[in-house]
């Protein structure tokens, strides 16, 4: 079960602190919501808050490892009167690999993560084949993975990983309802005349394993 650790900041009472790798998010809480969306690495939450405001009937999960950013998101939600968001302090890999129940999320957003462009840092990239397999596990049937990056080589590499996995098929129409919602990073790059590339992929069933003779 999640551990709620309240610190000296008044915003901490509205953040769920997951402190261990093997803690589980309560499955019944997610099952009770008709639609669940997760912003993985939400930062200060400009994108997440706009998403929650536009679709108040959906349950929005906002996750980040930097508690300072999450405290700013709490304040943003208060100003905007948002009541359909759950804010999580946790590490992205742990959340997806260990903590979320199977087939519990309708759409998962990973927007403008650090591309780690130097070769010696490539191991820090989140989008590995193993992580893609975990994305497939937590997404519901026909669930959507939404990724964006300002770094074109990284974007191209992610498209390749998704395509080669055999677990997803591109579905650009699946993010048509997000028109006009931008993260702080995307707004910054756009202001500088730099494009941000988006991809949406729909989860497809795994192929059945067969044993040859």
184 catalytic residue (yes or no): no
Instruction: Report which of 80, 88, 72, 76 is spatially closest to residue 37, judged by C-alpha positions.
Output: 88
Helix (H, G, I), strand (E, B) or coil at 34: coil
Q: Which of 4, 102, 114, 177 is catalytic?
A: 114
User: In degrees to the nearest 10, what's the CA dihedral of 178, 183, 187, 189?
Assistant: -110
C-alpha separations of 75 from 12, 34, 82 in Å: 11, 26, 10
Neighbours of 115 (CB within 10 A): 20
| Structural contact between residues 37 and 58, judged by C-beta atoms closer than 8 angstroms | yes
Helix and strand numbers, DSSP H then E, in the chain: 7, 8
C-alpha separations of 192 from 150, 183, 185, 196 in Å: 11, 14, 11, 11
**Eight-class DSSP state of 17:** E
Give catalytic residues, as residue numbers.
114
């Amino acid at each position: 079960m999640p551990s709620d650790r309240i610190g000296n900041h008044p915003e901490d009472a509205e953040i769920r602190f997951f402190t261990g790798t093997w803690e589980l998010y309560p499955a019944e809480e997610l099952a009770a919501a008709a639609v669940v969306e997760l912003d993985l690495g939400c930062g200060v939450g400009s994108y997440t808050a706009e998403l929650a405001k536009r679709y108040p009937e959906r349950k929005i999960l906002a996750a980040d490892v930097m508690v300072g950013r999450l405290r700013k998101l709490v304040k943003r939600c208060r100003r905007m009167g948002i009541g359909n968001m759950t804010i999580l302090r946790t590490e992205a890999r742990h959340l997806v690999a260990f903590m979320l129940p199977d087939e519990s999320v309708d759409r998962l957003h990973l927007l403008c993560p650090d591309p780690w462009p130097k070769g010696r840092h490539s191991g820090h990239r989140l989008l590995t084949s193993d992580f893609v397999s975990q994305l497939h596990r937590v997404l519901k049937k026909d669930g959507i993975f939404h990724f964006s990056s300002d770094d074109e080589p990284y974007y191209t590499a992610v498209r390749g990983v998704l395509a080669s996995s055999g677990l997803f098929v591109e579905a650009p129409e699946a993010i048509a309802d997000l028109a006009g919602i931008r993260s702080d990073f995307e707004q910054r790059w756009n202001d500088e005349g730099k494009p941000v590339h988006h991809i949406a992929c729909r989860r497809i069933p795994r192929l059945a394993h067969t044993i040859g003779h």
